[in-house]
Structure 1
Amino acid sequence: MISNNVTIFRLALTLPFFALLAINGPGWAALGLFLACGLLDIVDGKLARHLGETSRLGAMLDLWGDRMLTLAAVAGLIIAGALSLPASMAALVLVARCQAVSTFGEALGGPDRLTPSTFEHTKIALAFAGLGLMMAPGFWDQQAMLGEALIYAAAALTLVTLAGYIIQAVRALAPRPAS
């Protein structure tokens, strides 16, 4: 499947992206790899739908790729010292959410059993923009401030969406009275 190969290629780019960011810190090369992975995320989904290649394996690989890219970006920025301590904590909320949602999805029999939040796309866009601004070379004075503000906003929405997922999981896993 072509779309799964694109996703696997995106996953393979994650390790060099992380190493580049962690060792060299923010820069155009790290930002370029980050943006390439983001673009490939869009391409693999569109290809899968266009070619009729949607599958549970493809969905799992896509989610894994998303989570690994978030982890690589956050860990790389923290190791490089590019995030303040409060922004690092907010960014770690993004990573922790991925673990929690995948755990809920597994407990419920698959990630497709959770109803996505209406804020999910906004949260993803804020996180991507904030992380991207933090790994770009500084080209204006308020860039880091804006990047961290976007990460804080993404973390806040993450907590809101996570609360919704927790409620869904508790309701779905609650014991049912015997009939």
Structure 2
Amino acid sequence: MLTLPNILTLSRIFAVPLLVWMLWWPQWTVGYWLAFVLYCVIAATDYLDGYLARAQGAVSKLGIFLDPIADKIMVAAVILMLVATHDIEGFHLIPALVILLREIMVSGLREFLGGIQVSVPVSQLAKWKTALQLVALGALILSGALPGWLWIKVVGLASLWAAAALTLITGWDYLRIGLRHMES
């Protein structure tokens, strides 16, 4: 059912290839500016689609299915592009990898648990993790648009590490819940 919240969620998915294209050339600061603007719009629709779905009583199975997928597609695509363009490199590859691995693990767990009719609600800590990821990746994109402003990259990388720490905690929480249901 194509409600406005579901259309917003789908728009996030369809915007990712354009975002990737804008980040493709690391020396093209205009592309980074455009990517930053698009990224901010995508991040805002992440909040807006959920808000509208709840406010309008339009929460749907399609939206519940698509929303986390849209988030994971965007986060994974941006991390991969920032690694490819060397905006994330060296020691900072560790938090990027932690975030990607957790996203894959949680997706697999949700699929497994859904098959046995177990729902795992998103925790408040996981929402903070998502917020830190959005700040981190947004700051790292913006640092490509403003290469002389080193503090923006420092904020991005520090937020990436903080998001990875929360990623480990929330990933462990999901894994612990999943393991309980695997033993029965």
TM-score when scaled to structure 1? 0.89
Shift of 1:99: 1.2
Q: 2:18 and 2:56 mapped to 1: Cα distance?
A: 29
Q: 1:19 and 1:72 mapped to 2: Cα distance?
A: 11
Structure 2 match to 1:31: 36
Structure 2 letter corresponding to 1:109: G
Shift of 1:160: 1.0
Shift of 1:119: 1.5
User: Structure 1 runs of 4+ off > 4 angstroms?
Assistant: none
Gaps of 5+ in 1: none
Q: Does the residue aligned with 1:23 lie in a helix, a strand or coil?
A: coil
Q: 1:140 and 1:71 mapped to 2: Cα distance?
A: 25
Is 1:71 matched up with 2:73? no
Contact in 2 for aligned 1:7/1:61 (Cα 8 Å): yes
Structure 1 match to 2:125: 119
Gaps of 5+ in 2: none
Q: 1:118 and 1:125 mapped to 2: Cα distance?
A: 11
Structure 2 letter corresponding to 1:37: I
Is 1:102 matched up with 2:107? yes
Q: 1:50 and 1:126 mapped to 2: Cα distance?
A: 25
CA deviations on 1:6-27 (whole Å, 9 max, x unpaired) are 2111211111101211334662
Is 1:18 matched up with 2:20? yes
Contact in 2 for aligned 1:19/1:76 (Cα 8 Å): no
Greater mean alpha carbon deviation, residues 89-98 or residues 74-83: 89-98
Q: 2:13 and 2:21 mapped to 1: Cα distance?
A: 14
CA deviations on 1:137-174 (whole Å, 9 max, x unpaired) are 23533222221111011101101111111111111111
1:48-59 → structure 2 map (5 Å cutoff) = 48-59=53-64
Q: 2:153 and 2:55 mapped to 1: Cα distance?
A: 38
Greater mean alpha carbon deviation, residues 26-35 or residues 114-123: 114-123
Structure 2 match to 1:129: 135
CA deviations on 1:63-104 (whole Å, 9 max, x unpaired) are 111011101110111111111222223112212211111111
Give % identity: 29
Greater mean alpha carbon deviation, residues 133-142 or residues 166-175: 133-142
Structure 1 match to 2:165: 156
Structure 1 letter corresponding to 2:51: K
Q: Does the residue aligned with 1:81 lie in a helix, a strand or coil?
A: coil
Structure 2 letter corresponding to 1:60: F
Structure 1 letter corresponding to 2:110: G
Is 1:44 matched up with 2:20? no
TM-score when scaled to structure 2? 0.87
Shift of 1:112: 6.7
Cα distance, 1:117–1:75 mapped onto 2, change above 3 Å: same
